[in-house]
Structure 1
């Protein structure tokens, strides 16, 4: 017989391996010497030992899941237990036994990690559901939908929880999305309805604006355009593309009217420029009356100048305040001197003051009749001249009334 540390070969060629329970036959190798037969089954053991060592390293490294590791250990253990090999089979089994606690520890760690991830996923899903509910309770139609889509993508990346918890949180999240979508659709439907109403109103406003664009009744038409603009703003927005088109038409009509009015006013201002030159000459004469040394002469001269002032007609609009102000200054200076003299003179002069008031009132009444006729005929130039004339006479009337009151 041939022996080794872990086995022997019987004279009939049968190879035995030593185990903790004694010996057991592992096989024969035909036409081989005892040494060759023993070496054959020893090499089998060595191959099995390599497999056990590899599994040992893989389990300890954690590349296998606990379930995969347990299955692999079970498979290899069966191979070791029934192995037809010669070697320290008990040692291999012991090495496999060492993996049991390792796998148990890994399983506990995996279980704890799974619980941690589940807890984090639950917190994350609760946060997503809460944010979705907050968005659903708001009215941010511009950003809310985009944010809900982002939240949905985040939800999909999270692991599932236990069924009841996951279903409950999903119900909250999904219900919030549905409520927001429903409210958003209702909002835009209402907006569309309002925009359609605005379109109808603005089309009517545009039609009227275009119909009066050629008017030469500058005052009333300008006022009407102001009314139309207020109505336009109150109507609110129409659908954008249509709103832009309607606004372009509305502005074009306005520009046509106000452009024509500006041209007409510019022509009038050019025409009135000569009147301003005449009034400047009259002012030179009027201002030469100051200071007043001879009241009667100054009054007579000023009356003549006032008549010439009225006859000179309207001046450009940007000169009205300046020229009227200078003429009024002379008038007030003469009136002041006259008031002082009246207070020092015989009260009988009150009759003259009353007479002046009566004449001025009659003249104003006549001018007002002429103004109404001019307005009825649409004579813009005559209207402006009569309005200026009335303003001057009414100013004189106020002074005359104050003078008359001083004698009453």
Structure 2
């Protein structure tokens, strides 16, 4: 529309200066022009129309961009369309109206898509925050894993901040629930650790007492009872509970050190004792070799005398390891039994007239007869009766020994 004909096809100015825009339904007065020629007046109102076209072009361009504010564009198009029927312009108003209607329809479609996308994003964001709230409420209902749960709450707060698209009212409502769950967790954790501190204080006192008892017993040389007592303290230590890791480790080192003092000392003593017992065993084994080498059958009496000497040495040597004591004793008893059997056999082989025991018993009978004779000579009835009884008893034993009646 660069010449007058173009402008006159869309508007005119009458003699009194009234400016009209032409439409298919007739003319509409859009203003008044008194400042110059008719051409200049039409050009002035045509420029206003051109400005509207430029504004519509800009909105159309923004509407087709990826970052368009569709809601704002739709609003601007509605305002332009509503104002077009009264706009003080000269131009293809109806063509522009048609274009505005088309753009408005396109904007409404895009706005619907935009709102649907926004609603979907909002729903996802709400769901994400609801999931965080549910997790927070679940963590708040537990009474364990304080460190891990505390770390998780910190992570969830950062996740919460990264979630966008939730309306303010819903966001505030969900945040109140999340915050309440976090406060509940913090309160429960504080109560737990307060109670734990109180319990650990009692445990600490108990373990200090056990350490003191262990240190007191550490220098004892009453090995058996003290070892049992320390084992009892160990059982009490396990039953007492645990301190914080660092404190528990320090207390345990002190308690264990006291026990080590005692058990190391006992080990040294027992090692020395074991060495002595092993030396005693070696000595007794040497005596056993000598005893087992005795020629018992050839000369039981000589073997008996030698065995007695070995027995004296055996008792002088002292104790041996408990596990070998019975075995060594059995070997010694075997030699003793062989010696006894050999002596019994040798005893039976001695002639009766040479048997020392029979000779002794005959001597005793003769002495009893002499006592009876003296009692009769004295005429003492009491002594006679006792002497007769003694003589009868000794004769009876003599007869049994001789195998006679």
- Per the shorter chain, which TM-score range? 0.5 to 0.7
The verdict on how the C-alpha distance between 1:113 and 1:7 changes in structure 2, with shifts beyond 3 A counting, is same
Distance in 1 between the 2:27 and 2:339 partners?
Answer: 155
Distance in 2 between the 1:250 and 1:293 partners?
Answer: 65
Does structure 1 retain, via aligned residues, the 8 Å contact 2:30–2:89? Answer: no
Deviation at 1:55, TM superposition (A): 0.9
Deviation at 1:80, TM superposition (A): 4.6
Deviation at 1:195, TM superposition (A): 0.9
Deviation at 1:328, TM superposition (A): 4.7
Deviation at 1:227, TM superposition (A): 1.9
Equivalent in the alignment of 2:211: 206
Matches within 5 A, 1:110-125: 110-125=114-129
Unmatched segments (≥5 aa) in structure 2: 346-405
| Correspondence 1:218 to 2:223 | yes
* TM-score normalised per structure 1: 0.64
Distance in 2 between the 1:295 and 1:201 partners?
Answer: 73
Q: Give CA deviations for 1:225-279 in whole Å, capped at 9, x if unaligned.
A: 2222222222112344444333332222222222222333344445555434423
Does structure 1 retain, via aligned residues, the 8 Å contact 2:21–2:91? Answer: yes
| Correspondence 1:73 to 2:74 | no
Equivalent in the alignment of 1:93: 97
Distance in 1 between the 2:229 and 2:253 partners?
Answer: 18
Equivalent in the alignment of 2:145: 141
SS at match of 1:138: coil
The range that moved more, 199-208 or 54-63, is: 54-63
SS at match of 2:50: helix
Matches within 5 A, 1:158-307: 159-160=165-166, 163=169, 167=173, 173-272=178-277, 274-285=279-290, 305=310, 307=312
Distance in 1 between the 2:124 and 2:164 partners?
Answer: 9
Distance in 2 between the 1:201 and 1:6 partners?
Answer: 105
Equivalent in the alignment of 2:314: 309
| Correspondence 1:330 to 2:331 | yes
Does structure 1 retain, via aligned residues, the 8 Å contact 2:30–2:87? Answer: no
Equivalent in the alignment of 2:136: 132
SS at match of 1:194: helix
The verdict on how the C-alpha distance between 1:323 and 1:162 changes in structure 2, with shifts beyond 3 A counting, is same
Distance in 1 between the 2:306 and 2:143 partners?
Answer: 77
Does structure 2 retain, via aligned residues, the 8 Å contact 1:7–1:18? Answer: yes
Number of residue pairs aligned between Structure 1 and Structure 2: 336
Does structure 1 retain, via aligned residues, the 8 Å contact 2:292–2:335? Answer: no
* TM-score normalised per structure 2: 0.65
